[in-house]
Structure 1
Amino acid sequence: MCEWVNRIEYSLWTQHCDEGRRFGHMTKNISECMNSILKGVRNFPVCSLVKATYGRDNSEFTVAETTLTDSFSLGSYRVSLASQTCDCGYFQALHFPCPHALACCAYSWLTWEPYVHQLYRLNSVFSVYRMGFTPPISEGFWPPYDGPTVIPVPNKRRAREGRPTSTRIRTNMDEADPNRPKRCGLCRQPGHTRRSCPQLRGAEHTRGHD
């Protein structure tokens, strides 16, 4: 029996030599193929049979169609493998496939490696170390180091003499009234200052008698 089968051309009865013409089917009985496709809808109306046939045919030729268009609609995201773009923005921003692009590659039986940018490849990483590096000079040729040099900011320095400069933002309430008479800081009476206050003189006189 084996000798008789081997005399037949392999492309007529073997799957590995059919050159893709039989799409993985092992039977030549076309009616059995149709029965397997329409098994669940054979008792439905004609419209249902046509819809089931169209859906099965579309699934068989998905690879051929996606190879020509390279465009997919995955839920709310549109992926274009040809332009390497996705509505999520990661594909074109990071230059390697996003999860949506990976799902499209898996659905169409395509490898994801061609869609990874060349900069992420190992040969690009190794090429960085091909450049020459200038070695540092020996420690004996280093300039002397006496510690850090502290240079204060002039605007932050505090004056040693006199009152510090006020940084408060003044308003109309801070403006002095030129017609308002000055009062003594001790007795709060107008006409004299704290140094010439009569109360200060009286206190010094009483202290002298003591």
Structure 2
Amino acid sequence: MEIERYVARKWMENTKKAEIWGELTRYASRRADKVLEHTVSGSIDANSSTSYVVEIKHGVGCIPLKFALQLCDGVVKCSCGYFEDAGAPCVHALLALKHAGRLKEMTSFYRVSWKTPVFQEAYAERARTTILPLVLKEALTRGECKAPGIPKKRGRPKKKRIPSQQATESLKKQIRRCGICKQVGHNRKSCSSQSS
């Protein structure tokens, strides 16, 4: 019961937070702001209005890295491959947009999953019916648990193996007695009491 209250409270907090955000989710907008505020040493060369070469130095004495970048119809194609993986513009794309003065178009380069309406829809009232009920520990341990079946192993069982020579020598030899007189040293055939 306590877990259900916690989840319901978090649910309400997240829906209220989403009302404050802009077009992008909080994480996406914070990341973009952080990249744009952070000054990166390097240069941006514009080949055309949609094609750029971004050169970045990550530190003093580091070798500069060049990235080829193309911005077209809400798709970013960069040689770093970040957009294909994450669905959001990479650092190089954001710097190129800033250089070109096209920051207002920035949100069009994010995939739908990074946008606030998708987040709000996930937390909408109708989405509650699709959430599976919580499985509590008591419900899992309530029923009887049977031991798992042990599969039969290949080959001859260990107990029916042929004993080694050392194992047979270590066994004490039984003393053989006569079946008629029960004395040691002879058997039925050679028993002296049988002939009499």
Normalized against structure 1, the TM-score is what?
0.39
Higher relative contact order (CA 8 A, sep 6+): 2
Please report the TM-score for the alignment, with normalisation by the length of structure 2.
0.41
| Structure label with greater radius of gyration | 1
